[in-house]
Structure 1
Amino acid sequence: MSVREQQEQGFSLRGGKKEQDSKKLPALSVPRRTDHPVMGIQSKKNFINTNAVAAITGLPKKPQPIYVDRRQGDKYLLETSGLVPKYIKKKDYGVIPKYITQRNEDTKRAQKEYEASIVEHLKKNAMKRLSDEERRSLLQGLKKNWEEVYRDFQRLSVEIDTIPKKLYKEKLELQMKQLEHDIEVIEKHKVIYIANE
């Protein structure tokens, strides 16, 4: 008995006893040394004649399209070079994909909703136009306030030597400057809008 056959039957090499291993050897795909190939099968087919007939009657092979980049003749396949316009011959060439049209519709819908919300917000917070009578009365009130502040400014003493007097003078000057600015703005603009708050 050969060593291989002993291993297949489960004998160990050391003691000759059969091992009860849970692991079995995988089936060998290599033929055994004792196996012989099948002999004696012959075919009556004439391969030379059939090959000659197939070559004569068959269609000639089309050569692969190539391109040459130098005079020495380095050849490359034309299909993988990018010189053949194979993508523009597809049926769906130039057609916008569905996901892009869907995204465009979603963005248009979102833009319309945003514009509608802004218009609604502006209507809610619409500005009120000041009438001519209100504008005149506002202008008269500002001029009257300016005259009162100017009267208080002229009542100040000529010599301002203490800190509270200086602070009071600066306060009156700021008030007069602000009132002059407001009067100038209202006189300059004929139409005035007031925001609703």
Structure 2
Amino acid sequence: MNPIRGPRDAQARAGITPVNHAKNNAVAVREQSQMNAMRKAADPEPGGLKLPPVRSTSAPTQRPLPRRPSSGGGAAGRDFVHENKVSSVAALRPPRPDKQSGDKYLNKKDYGQVPSYLLERKLQMAADVEAAARAKEAALIPPGMRLLPEEERLETLEILKKNKDEIERAIQGLPLRTETLSAIRRKEELERRLREIEDAQKIFARPKVLVHL
């Protein structure tokens, strides 16, 4: 039988190389002694210069941070790449509208109003259309006749209505039986006048009425 002799023997049988701690410790002690010797050699003499401590080469080194160019006035300190980027961005930005000038335009006295020359032109065009229409109507009026104005036409209609109301009241006031000759003539006269008024109302109810001069 071949018994296992400790953990290192078990690692060797499993195909794992055992860690040699004694050797590693000896190497670490030797490196530490060398570093201490270098520090002592770097100690300044009286009146001499002080040297920086020696660091192990196994420690990770830090990369120096990039220094930004100084803002001095010299050409060597200018960052031309940054200046070109700022110039290109400023060129792409659309110009902002001048708010103050826009407010002045809105506060103008005649803002939102139609110019006077346009109003005069519209009025002149309307007058020309009306004059042309009157001339066309005048050409259709027979000689010796005239077109009755609207105001006069409406006034005539109002008079005819009043006369009709009076005649109708007069007819209603007649006796039911008209035996005398004068009563018969009176009734016939009122009915004739009523028919004339109704015919006149039909004529003056038209939008255009022609009358003799």
TM-score of the pair, normalised by structure 2: 0.32
Q: Choose 1 or 2 for highest CA Rg.
A: 2
Comparing both structures, which one devotes a greater share of its residues to helix? Answer: 2
TM-score of the pair, normalised by structure 1: 0.34
